[in-house]
Amino acid sequence: MKLLSWNCRGVGNPRSVRALRTWCWRERSELVFLMETMVDSKQLERVRGRCGFTEGSCLGSEGNSGGMGLWWRDINVHIFSYSRHHIAAEVRDDNNNPVWVAVGVYGWPETENKHRTWDMMRTIQDECEVPTVFFGDFNEIVSMSEKEGGAMRRESLMDAFKEAIDDCGLHDLGFKGRTFTWQRGTEPGSVIRERLDRFLVSEEWHNLFPRSMVRHFPIYKSDHAPILLNTEAINFQNKEKRRFHFEALWLASEECRGVVESSWNGGGGSSLPVIIARCAEDLSKWAKGNFRAVKKRIKEAEKELSEWQKCVPDATMIEKCNNLCAELDDLHRKEETY
Higher-confidence residue of 273 and 183: namely: 183
Is the pLDDT score of 129 beyond 90? yes
Interval 306-321: pLDDT, tens: 999 988 888 898 999 9
Q: How far apart are CA 224 and CA 6, in angstroms?
A: 7
Percentage of the chain lying above the pLDDT 90 cut: 65
Answer yes or no: is pLDDT of 140 > 70. Answer: yes
Quote the percentage of the chain above a pLDDT of 70: 93
d(CA 102, CA 32): 11
Please give the pLDDT value at position 237.
41
8-state DSSP, 274: H
What is the pTM (predicted TM-score) of this model?
A: 0.79
69 in helix, strand or coil?
strand
Please give the pLDDT value at position 291.
Answer: 66
Instruction: Catalogue the E-assigned strands of 147-217.
Output: 147-148, 170-172, 182-184, 192-194, 197-202, 213-216
Number of helices (H) and strands (E) in the chain: give both, helices first: 9, 15
- Kindly report, as residue ranges, where domains of CATH 3.60.10.10 are found in the chain: 2-236
| pLDDT band at residue 330 using 50, 70 and 90 as cut-offs | confident
Q: What is the mean pLDDT of residues 177-197?
A: 86
Higher confidence at residue 62 or residue 69? Answer: 69
Which pLDDT does position 162 carry in this prediction?
Answer: 97
- pLDDT on residue 131: 97
Q: Are 217 and 19 in contact (CB under 8 A)?
A: no
Per CATH, the number for 2-236 is: 3.60.10.10
